[in-house]
Structure 1
């Protein structure tokens, strides 16, 4: 039993299970902005597809970066705070806790499951999933090449969220989809990618990994992260306003409160203290924004029925 538990812990860490689970909120929001009466079966199928897809994509990141991660341990920073990305086990493949074959089978099997479920829902969902996978591969390949790879990461997250909207067989207005895409891109870049790079800057500089904080410094990185976070906050609240007929005052109030607590307040603190510790705190808090808004939107929809 202990061996099984340990293997599950390793796979959970390899797949960044906490982040993968939280990420399912993004396509679910995509579904709720196009219909306030979604099919429960479609929602469940989409959530399962999203979970399999996100687990596969996060694990693929570690699979492709295994060589870099092995070198990372020579300059590994001490963790004196909570890191949402490292729950379970940190880079278990690079540490030898998981074989390359097992890792490839895990990623491939989950990717096939996600692709099959996406195809069953809507061909466009499969296209968006394939796009997200291609963007993730591109992101990993650019690790030591360009500090602007964060653009690919933002587009990848937007593709996943938009898949939720296309999974619903209803009319899809353009404006909500654009607001969702802007929100997801800005949130991923400002709330997760750059601040995570800020926390890892000391390690990345030894590995030759090009990131905004490594190339331009922590202060510039914090300004860009906070600017993108402000855009993400504006787009997410704007989405609640635009879909007033779905979410009403409850959804709007929930969006404002959740965004202020998970994105804006941490961004202000980061501007005052643009260091790795505060960057990790912002990463952890900002990662919760879509989940908090999903809860607010879902409650609002249920109350209006």
Structure 2
């Protein structure tokens, strides 16, 4: 297997597009802690975050390898393209990546992320370990309960809060609480449930329990839409608490970016609770944290 083919498989294994977009989540936490992060510390945080997300997304496929192989044998195809498809979906299950190579990849990146997290703050290291444990528990509960989405929301919220503690040793209950709520609502309503709705045909014969399978697509769409609107409201509330740092520009751009990434997709999903619509919601919502990060950066340049 050529180096290029192996690299493509590893990128797909780590859901590279989604992993890179996810870097924005803890960076928003960092900018809530300080509007002038030290460049060296910021670079270390970005490096650790990238390694962590590439490892965590890959670990998901590693834990789910058995289920993914069964799904691959059924030759299911998604109703529409999604941003996670770059590099190919589930290369381990499709035989394009060996299990030993996948395990080594996860351990290497996870080790790097943990080492840098320890250097940044012991709190960041503890949060990284907690997020990894939640990811493992989430995968183990695939066929047990639809409510495993709560673990997914908590995991993403923890990752975002790690960005705060990389730059601050203090606890601000209001900002940290809003940050955690924003990320949990976004993960569940913007990624987890829409992704599960898109995979209903694939997951049902495998015995996987998700909200759309257990409660139906319409109930899943309503829950997703409600959480997407909560995400929009919480993002704006976060921007308001950061007024001294990012001013009116930060609030305005945050509100504007929520419309195409959260509000309009929520309305579309309520009208059409179907797999193609769900993938559109997933794709658009995936860019929301990056939009909020851009809003804060824009605000800091004006204030």
Q: Normalising to structure 1: TM-score of the pair?
A: 0.97
1:261 is the counterpart of 2:256: no
Question: What aligned pairs does 1:282-293 form with structure 2 within 5 A after superposition?
Answer: 282-293=281-292
Shift of 1:265: 0.5
Question: What aligned pairs does 1:163-182 form with structure 2 within 5 A after superposition?
Answer: 163-169=162-168, 171-182=170-181
Shift of 1:247: 1.1
1:68 is the counterpart of 2:67: yes
Structure 1 partner of 2:302: 303
Question: What aligned pairs does 1:154-233 form with structure 2 within 5 A after superposition?
Answer: 154-169=153-168, 171-233=170-232
C-alpha RMSD of the superposition: 1.1
Distance in 2 (CA, whole Å) between partners of 1:79 and 1:291 is 25
2:79 and 2:198 in contact (8 A); partners too: no
Distance in 1 (CA, whole Å) between partners of 2:58 and 2:140 is 15
Secondary structure of the residue aligned to 1:33 is helix
1:50 is the counterpart of 2:54: no
Structure-2 change in CA distance of 1:225 and 1:76 (3 Å) = farther
Could you list the per-position Cα deviations for residues 266-287 of structure 1 after superposition, in whole angstroms to 9, with x for gaps in the alignment? 0000000000000000000000
Question: Number of residues paired by the alignment?
Answer: 303
Structure 2 partner of 1:82: 81
Structure 1 partner of 2:128: 129
| Structure 1: stretches of 5+ with no match in the other structure | none
1:34 and 1:170 in contact (8 A); partners too: no
Distance in 2 (CA, whole Å) between partners of 1:75 and 1:280 is 20
Shift of 1:170: 5.4
Q: Normalising to structure 2: TM-score of the pair?
A: 0.98
Distance in 2 (CA, whole Å) between partners of 1:100 and 1:261 is 39
Structure 2 partner of 1:95: 94
Distance in 2 (CA, whole Å) between partners of 1:102 and 1:182 is 36
Distance in 1 (CA, whole Å) between partners of 2:255 and 2:168 is 29
